[in-house]
């Protein structure tokens, strides 16, 4: 993507391992993980190697708790910010992310060059009132 001029590369929710509530604990990682097997390590290395901003969904482990998170790494490979999914999904009778994950509490906006990005993950998109919070922070819908 960077070879074609991309400045921002986004990977999907839980791109490391397979998605599944029961699997979240085994795939959880610290945001400062740097190994090639961790999502954060892959994102940071790709950002640094290609001079782009990267993000992707990982299961974050911090203080003995788990979040569905989207860390953002700048072109130097350093962590810029992190978004923790606010609206955890629930499929009645099948699975509920809140069985193992904590919900995030805040919007997260950041800059990629001259473009302001507002983070949201999966089920968050079903709550337009939540997304409207990004307007006053300078984020605009993408075409």
Distance CA 18, CA 21 (A): 10
What are 104-141's pLDDT values in tens digits? 999 999 999 988 999 999 999 899 888 888 888 887 76
The reported pLDDT for the residue numbered 8 is 96
29 as an active site residue: the answer is: no
14 as an active site residue: the answer is: no
Confirm if 52 and 46 have CB atoms less than 8 A apart: yes
Catalytic residue among 13, 29, 121, 129: 13
Residue 143 scores a pLDDT above 60: no
Mean pLDDT of 6-10: 95
Catalytic residue among 29, 85, 97, 121: 85
The reported pLDDT for the residue numbered 140 is 72
What are 33-50's pLDDT values in tens digits? 888 889 999 999 999 999
Backbone dihedral angles phi then psi of residue 9, each to the nearest 5 degrees: -125, 125
What are 44-96's pLDDT values in tens digits? 999 999 999 999 999 999 999 999 999 999 999 999 999 999 999 887 767 79
Sign of CA dihedral 58, 103, 99, 123: negative
């Amino acid at each position: 993507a960077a070879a074609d001029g991309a400045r921002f590369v986004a990977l999907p929710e839980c791109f490391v391992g397979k998605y599944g509530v029961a699997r979240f604990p085994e795939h959880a990682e610290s945001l400062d993980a740097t190994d090639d097997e961790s999502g954060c390590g892959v994102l940071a290395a790709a950002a640094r190697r290609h001079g782009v901003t990267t993000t992707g969904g990982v299961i974050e482990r911090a203080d003995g708790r788990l979040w569905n998170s989207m860390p953002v790494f700048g072109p130097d490979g350093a962590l810029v910010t992190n978004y923790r999914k606010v609206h955890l999904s629930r499929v009645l009778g099948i699975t509920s992310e809140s069985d193992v994950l904590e919900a995030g509490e805040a919007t997260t906006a950041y800059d990629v060059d001259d473009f302001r990005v507002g983070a949201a993950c999966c089920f968050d998109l079903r709550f337009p009132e939540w997304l409207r919070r990004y307007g006053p922070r300078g984020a605009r819908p993408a075409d």
